[in-house]
Amino acid sequence: MSQDETRISEVEARALWRRAAELQAEAARRLEERSRELAPRGNPADTVEVDGYRLADVRAAAEDAGISPEFVDHALVESRNRALVEGTQERPSALAARFLGQPPQALEVSRVIHAPAEEVYAAMQRILPERPFRLSLVDHHGADPLEGGVLVFKVPAYSYTASTADQSFAYEMAWIDLKQLLFSLRRLDTDPPATELTVRGSLIHSHKLNMWVGGSISGVLASLSGVGGAFAGGAVGVALGIGGLAAGAAGFLAGGLAVGGLAMLGWRALYRYALRRGDKAIRNLIGSIAVDIETGGSFSSPKRPSPFQGFLGEGQGG
């Protein structure tokens, strides 16, 4: 029986987890010490200002701390891709985040596909431009999509007057106002070969749009409810001999705040529902790529001139 199949008790497992966490904390401490060693020393006036560390030094410091260079490279790709998602859009709005209940700034879905990166990339060429996805390549960042580069795709706009037969994916993306999706591949050091495919989309514009729409609806409902509350409160105040104006004002505030708060909570729930729909749609997209690989492309749409053709050689994008 191989070592991976060895059975251990729950007590032993908990002890192993605790020790692994201690080793990870110790690696982090060594890495912090190493970063201080790499920092410039001496008189700042005599030191040429350098922006940041060399990537080679970062990898070496991580390796000295017991962290595999593979994980450093993975973290670097993730960091750059996240910066692309968040940095190419508007600045995040704290007000919109509070209104929507602090949702994520980006929708991100990853899946490990048990195939080489070349096969995943080829399946993307067959699947993404075709219905129902109809994604169009508009930009790419990095020299090679097979080595961590990022492909930027435009999501087709959903038309309420056109047939919905070929617009199912656009419809799901319209729920969360996603206009672009970023795809990245990462080779995994496994046998047989496997590839992690990650799809990301910024939600910053979506947050702001939903704050304005949802806030406007909440405000209108609060105003209408407040007017009704004012009349009811004024009538009760007159009947009881209380100042009708004061009672009406109290009724306006109470009714308006209650309905406005409920409307905001309802909009938050609707937005969370939209996020779940978007997440499921992207997972289905990645699933279509995986199935295409498993079937050898037998059930893909007829091959058309690929928008990826000549992509690697032309060196477009950043």
Q: In this predicted model, what pLDDT tens digit does every residue of 36-54 receive, in sequence order?
A: 666 655 454 444 444 567 7
Q: What pLDDT is stored for residue 224 in this prediction?
A: 54
Looking at the domain assignment, is residue 17 inside a domain?
no
Q: Is the pLDDT of residue 303 over 70?
A: no
What is the predicted pLDDT for the residue at 248?
43
Instruction: Choose between 107 and 140: higher pLDDT.
Output: 107
Q: SS in 3 state form for the chain?
A: CCHHHCCCCHHHHHHHHHHHHHHHHHHHHHHHHHHHHHCCCCCHHHCCCCCCCCHHHHHHHHHHCCCCHHHHHHHHHHHHHHHHHHHCCCCCCHHHHHHCCCCCCEEEEEEEECCCHHHHHHHHHHHCCCCCCCCEEEEEECCCHHHCCEEEEECCCCCCCCCCCCCHHHHHHHHCCCCEEEEEEEEECCCCCEEEEEEEEECHHHHHHHHHHHHHHHHHHHHHHHHHHHHHHHHHHHHHCCCHHHHHHHHHHHHHHHHHHHHHHHHHHHHHHHHHHHHHHHHHHHHHHHHHHHCCCCCCCCCCCCCCCCHHHHCCCC
- Mean pLDDT is lowest, of 8-12, 32-36, 167-171, 235-239, for 235-239
Question: What average pLDDT is seen over the chain?
Answer: 73
Distance in angstroms (rounded) separating the CA atoms of residues 136 and 311? 13
Q: Estimate the crossing angle of helix 244-294 against helix 117-127, to 10 degrees.
A: 120
Choice among 74-78, 163-167, 281-285, 311-315 with the minimum mean pLDDT: 311-315
Which pLDDT value is given to residue 251? 44
In the chain, pLDDT over 90 holds for what percent of residues? 26
pLDDT at 119 over 90: yes
Q: Is residue 116 part of a domain?
A: yes
At 259 the pLDDT is 56
Is 195 part of any domain?
A: yes
Per-residue pLDDT at 192 exceeds 60: yes
The boundaries of the domain holding residue 182 are 70-204+291-314
Q: How far, rounded to the nearest angstrom, does the alpha carbon of residue 256 sit from its chain's CA centroid?
A: 35
Confidence of residue 307 (pLDDT cuts 50, 70, 90): very low
Does 96 reside within a domain?
yes
The pLDDT of residue 109 is above 60:
yes
pTM of the predicted structure, to 2 decimals? 0.62
- Asked if 37 and 63 count as a contact pair (C-beta separation under 8 A), the reply is no
CA distance 251 to 176: 36
Tell me, yes or no, whether 75 lies in a domain: yes
pLDDT at residue number 19: 73
What percentage of the chain exceeds 70 in pLDDT?
59
Q: Are 225 and 255 in contact (CB under 8 A)?
A: yes
Does residue 215 sit within a domain?
A: no
Residue 154 has pLDDT above 70, yes or no: yes
Q: What is the pLDDT of residues 246-278, one digit of tens each?
A: 444 444 444 444 555 677 788 888 999 999 999
Q: Strand 136-141 vs strand 106-113: parallel, antiparallel, or unpaired?
A: unpaired
Q: How far apart are CA 36 and CA 190, in angstroms?
A: 35
Does some domain include residue 22? no
Largest CA distance in the chain: 88
For residue 143, is pLDDT > 70? no
What mean pLDDT is predicted for residues 115-121?
A: 95
Domain count, the chain: 1
Within a domain: 174: yes
